[in-house]
Each structure stands twice: as structure tokens, then as C-alpha cells.
A = this chain, B = another copy of it.
């Protein structure tokens, strides 16, 4: 088993306003997911809206999380930035606050060719003060790491894992196959709809947004898949899909998932429902529908 595995919620960033953390919410959220049995925390990912936060806010989020978490679980910190220097600065803050690893998606303004990508990560890994996960997120970065680029970058043992949010099952299997001889290399899947199947077929775990809301559900799903308990997987998968097809599908744009997740966290009294700019929170009819969807979830 790799060092990093299981369910690692990509924490939302609770906000009182676009410029101010909801510290109480963050505390409640962290205790909520720890109680749910999660295996680690990942902050400042896509679900954490890192790109929408100022640099200063991102540093604040690292600091506050570390302070609340007190090393009770492995902490992974997103450092994705279009600037190498600013990525490294974030990694240094992560190190300073005792995070266990950093997570980096490719530069998301300029898309690169694979050799350019390999050179970029060569440099980033060299300068990173912490072990690093590669983060594949093609919807936002407009590109995929090719399996052979991953292997090439991972020749440096500081590269300890890979998180795939492509939702492409063929691609994920290709990466798992390409890295089959790297025993210590963790492979996480982003979309929670795929966690069961990915773990059944060899992935290390899931970085699933829904685990902010129902941490135990995803932990049990992971356990069932890890133990090969297919009946239990089947039972839990239906609940996962119910969440996915109700809470994440309100609204008209790509922001439905994020707005729905934060709205549901607000309704459950865990933390503020405010997304960072450029998104606005759900109001009116949307809130009613998400409340109703939450009521119907039987877990």
C-alpha cells in the first residue's frame, strides 16, 4: 500500500466574503470529515477554488487548515499556478505549515506540448520542498499528461502520485498500466462517480468533492471496493449517483457542481455557501431543490 490512499476530500474553501475565510466553517468542516473517517485532506484544489482566491488567501487557507488539523491526517496542498515561482512559494508555505505533499496541475493559461510539460515539471519537482502529486484536469487546463510523460516525470522519487480528474476511464486505466511497476506511486481518481470502479481496478483512492458533505459514504464505498465487497459497492454507488444527479446538476453552467456542493454544505450547517468570484451562490428555487435532494438521500 502506498503512503497516500483512501478518501481524501478536496476541501471547499469556506468564505464569509470574497476576501475573508469562514474560519468557524472551516473548523466544522475539518472535524466533520475527520469524524467521517477520511484518510487525508487536500486543500486548494479545484473544489477549493484555489484559482479564484488571492495568493494571500491561499496562504491563509494553508495556515488555518494546518492549525486546525494539527497533523491528525496527511495534508496535501494544491500549488497549481501559471507561474512557476508562485507555485514554489506556495509549496514553501505548505512545507512551513507541515503539509505532507503538494499537488500541481499543468499551467492553465498556456497549454504545453508533452516535452514542454516534462521540462516544466522537471524544474518544479527539482525546486519543490515537498513530495509532489501530478494533477490531471483537462477541462480546466486544456491538456492531458500522456502516460509516458507521467512515467518520465515520476523518475524523480519526489513525485509520489497522480490525481486524475479527466473522467476518462480508458485514460485512467492507461496510466495505471503505465505505472504498474511503481509500487509507491499513488493514483487517485477525482470524479466520485468513478471511485468504486477505479479502486476495484487498482487505483489508490478518491479525491471526491462529495466527501465534504458525506465523508462516511465515500469512506465506506472505498472500503467496500478495496475489500472487493461488490454488493456493498453496488448499494453505495446508487447513493453516490443520486447525489451526483441531483445536487450537482442544478443551474445551467459548468459551475453547477461547485455551487451545488457549497449550497448543500450551507443547508447542512457545516459552512458558508458562498463561492468565490467569478461564481455566485445559488438562491431561491435552486436552494429549495437542493434542500429537497438532501432530504431524499437516505444514508
Contacts A82-B52, A177-B242 given; does A278 touch B107 at CB 8 Å: yes
Report the separation of the CA atoms of residues A95 and B237 in the bound assembly, to the nearest whole angstrom. 39
Contact partner of A86 (CB less than 8 A), chosen from B49, B54, B117, B177, is B54
- Give chain B residues whose Cβ lies under 8 Å from the Cβ of A279: 110, 112, 116
Which chain B residues border A255 with CB–CB below 8 Å?
Answer: 110, 112-113, 116
Interface check A220, CB cutoff 8 A: no
Q: At the interface, is chain A mostly helix, strand, loop or mixed?
A: helix
Interface string of A96-110 (1 = CB under 8 A from B): 000000000011111
Q: Contact: B82 with A51, CB < 8 Å?
A: yes
Does A197 make an interface contact (CB < 8 A)? yes
> What 0/1 readout, one digit per residue, does chain A (58-93) give for beta carbons within 8 Å of chain B?
000000000000000000000000111110010000
B197–A119 CB distance below 8 A? no
A109–B174 CB distance below 8 A: no
What is the total number of copies of this protein in its complex? 4
A277 to B147, CA, bound (A): 22
Q: Is the CB of B140 within 8 A of A169?
A: no
Residues of B within 8 A of A180 (CB): 238
CB of A168 within 8 Å of the partner chain = yes
Point out the residue from B107, B140, B177 that lies within 8 Å of A241, measured CB to CB.
B177
Instruction: Provide the residues of chain B in CB contact with A258, threshold 8 Å.
Output: 110
With A85-B57, A107-B51, A177-B245 in contact, do A278 and B120 touch (Cβ < 8 Å)?
yes
A57, A86, A169: which has the most chain B beta carbons within 10 Å? A169
Interface residues as binary, A108-129 with B (CB distance below 8 Å gives 1, 0 otherwise)? 1111110011011001000000
Residues of B within 8 A of A113 (CB): 252-255
Q: Using an 8 Å CB-CB cutoff, how does the interface string of A141-166 with B read, 1 for contact, 0 for none?
A: 01000010000000000000000000
Q: Please indicate the chain B residues that have their CB under 8 angstroms from the CB of A228 in the complex.
A: 228, 230
> What residues of B have a CB within 8 angstroms of the CB of A168 in the complex?
167-169
Closest-by-CB residue of B relative to A231 is: B228
Query: Can you report 24 A-B residue pairs in the complex whose CB atoms are below 8 A from each other?
Result: A18-B85, A19-B85, A49-B110, A51-B109, A52-B84, A53-B85, A57-B83, A57-B85, A84-B278, A107-B278, A110-B278, A112-B253, A113-B254, A119-B278, A123-B277, A147-B245, A168-B168, A170-B193, A177-B241, A177-B245, A178-B245, A197-B200, A201-B237, A228-B230
